[in-house]
């Protein structure tokens, strides 16, 4: 699995996720390490971003929503 994003004319680095499966704890670690820094760069450049994800169970657990 890989993760990547783009915003404006900027493309972030693809991040390989080398795990057997992604649970809420893996997803939360991913947020802290990769997504929050990207969100901060977007916010500093363009203002508040819109974050979008699907209704996957790992995305909608209580720990992730908090």
Express as a percent the part of the chain with pLDDT over 70: 100
Residue 50: strand, helix, or coil: coil
Q: Predicted confidence band at 36 (pLDDT cuts at 50, 70, 90)?
A: confident
CB atoms < 10 A from the CB of 25, how many?
A: 12
Q: Which is nearest to 40 in space by CA: 64, 17, 7, 65?
A: 7
DSSP string, 7-20: ETTEEPPPEE--SS
Q: Which pLDDT score, from 0 to 100, does residue 17 have?
A: 75
The model carries a pTM of 0.64
């Amino acid at each position: 699995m890989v993760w990547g994003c783009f915003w404006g004319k900027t493309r972030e680095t693809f991040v390989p996720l080398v795990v057997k499966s992604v649970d809420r704890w893996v997803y939360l670690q991913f947020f802290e390490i990769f997504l929050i820094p990207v969100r901060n760069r977007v916010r500093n450049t363009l203002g508040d971003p819109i974050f979008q994800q699907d209704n996957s169970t790992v995305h909608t657990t209580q720990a992730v929503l908090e």
